[in-house]
């Protein structure tokens, strides 16, 4: 009996070499070390750390998380330690072999760019992901990722502020994801991450109140997977830069669906709350799929979706 060689799971995202195509999603893995007791982070493709602001930031008051069918709604409001503490304390605590993607989030373009500047050249940092799902204060509070002009200016300013590979994380709360993807590509983004959480609301009818103090929240988990897949599929047809797909990935086949739709890598978010080893199980599930389909490399799956006759 001949034994089949193990499939090659390595991937590349914006010039960053990844051991596997699976990363942990921003905001769902802290700064990485929180999950170290549960899994060897080096077995993953990398992590995207919690979004950083210039100064430390305290989030919304509770209740700020609630369960929904097949998902969760959160309005944490991006509580974080700030970029300087991240660079001084959090980044050096991570294994040097692990590709670490920093994420930034701010209320003004100049402040986003300043965070990028401070991150630029940090030892051990692989890339920056720009979280564009933040209200643009000067534009009356609409998300950067919802306004084509604001998204263009944001991408341009961050591009000028860093030589690190730059991914823009798109908001799903838009009419045309393809248009937003093209804008980022045109302004020099190296790649796109999609999708962020989908705006939603839950009502506690006994109390006759919104379940979250913030009223609205971001819906994540398996409930949003079909939306995320549709958006990755549309973005892949609109741009040539690589995509990192996420939204409700809970298993190997879920991740394979994103790769087939054109994502070069994926991120696991909400599922980590159910099972802190979820991302590793997704890696194992991709390997299992490759074995069952006699693929020597998971890269063969990227964009390999077949059309109906």
Ligand X SMILES: Cc1cc2nc3c(=O)[nH]c(=O)nc-3n(C[C@H](O)[C@H](O)[C@H](O)COP(=O)(O)O)c2cc1C
Interaction site with ligand X (CB under 6 A): 25-28, 50-51, 72, 74, 76, 78, 103, 131, 169, 196-197, 220-221, 224, 246-249, 268-271
Residue whose CB is less far from ligand X, 57 or 182: 57
Strand order from edge to edge, sheet including 65-68: 65-68, 71-74, 216-220, 198-201
CA distance 83 to 98: 19
Contact 183, 152 (CB under 8 A): yes
Q: Which residue do the tokens 């006699």 mark?
A: 294
Helix (H, G, I), strand (E, B) or coil at 12: strand
CA distance 5 to 119: 40
Q: Is 184 a catalytic residue?
A: no
Q: How far is the CB of 307 from ligand X (least distance, A)?
A: 27
Catalytic residue among 14, 29, 116, 134: 134
Neighbours of 309 (CB within 10 A): 3
Residue whose CB is less far from ligand X, 22 or 161: 22
What is the phi-psi region of residue 264: left when phi exceeds 0, alpha when psi lies from -120 to 50, beta otherwise?
alpha
Residue whose CB is less far from ligand X, 7 or 94: 94
Q: How far is the CB of 294 from ligand X (least distance, A)?
A: 29
Residue whose CB is less far from ligand X, 7 or 214: 214
Contact 183, 157 (CB under 8 A): no
Q: How far is the CB of 27 from ligand X (least distance, A)?
A: 2
Residue whose CB is less far from ligand X, 7 or 128: 128
Q: Which residue is nearest to ligand X (CB)?
A: 27
Q: How far is the CB of 87 from ligand X (least distance, A)?
A: 17
Contact 82, 57 (CB under 8 A): yes
Q: How far is the CB of 142 from ligand X (least distance, A)?
A: 17
Question: Phi/psi of residue 124, each to 5°?
Answer: 90, 0
**Residues labelled catalytic:** 134
């Amino acid at each position: 009996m001949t034994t089949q060689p193990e499939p090659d799971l390595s991937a590349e995202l914006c010039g960053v070499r990844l051991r596997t195509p699976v990363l942990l999603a921003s905001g769902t893995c802290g700064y990485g070390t929180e999950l170290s007791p549960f899994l060897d982070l080096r077995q993953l493709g990398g992590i995207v750390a919690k979004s950083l602001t210039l100064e430390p930031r305290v989030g919304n008051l509770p209740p700020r998380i609630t369960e929904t069918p097949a998902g969760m709604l959160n309005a944490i409001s991006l509580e974080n330690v700030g970029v300087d503490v991240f660079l001084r304390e959090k980044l050096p605590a991570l294994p040097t072999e692990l590709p670490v993607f920093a994420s930034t989030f701010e209320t003004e373009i100049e402040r986003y760019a300043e965070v990028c500047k401070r991150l630029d050249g940090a030892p051990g940092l692989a890339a920056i992901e720009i979280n564009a799902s933040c209200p643009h204060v000067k534009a009356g509070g609409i998300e950067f990722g919802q306004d084509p002009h604001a998204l263009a200016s944001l991408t341009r300013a961050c591009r000028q502020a860093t030589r690190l590979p730059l991914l823009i994380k798109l908001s799903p709360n838009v009419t045309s994801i393809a248009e937003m993807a093209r804008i980022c590509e045109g302004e020099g983004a190296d790649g796109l991450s999609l999708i962020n959480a989908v705006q939603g609301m839950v009502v506690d009818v006994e109390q006759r109140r919104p379940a979250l103090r913030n009223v609205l929240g971001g819906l994540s988990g398996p409930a949003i997977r079909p939306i995320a897949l549709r958006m990755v599929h549309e973005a892949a047809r609109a741009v040539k830069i690589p995509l990192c797909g996420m939204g409700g990935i809970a298993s190997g086949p879920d991740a394979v669906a994103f790769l087939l739709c054109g994502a070069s890598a994926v991120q696991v978010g909400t599922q980590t709350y159910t099972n802190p080893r979820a991302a590793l199980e997704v890696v194992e599930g991709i390997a299992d799929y490759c074995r069952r389909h006699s693929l020597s490399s998971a890269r063969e799956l990227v964009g390999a979706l077949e059309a109906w006759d």
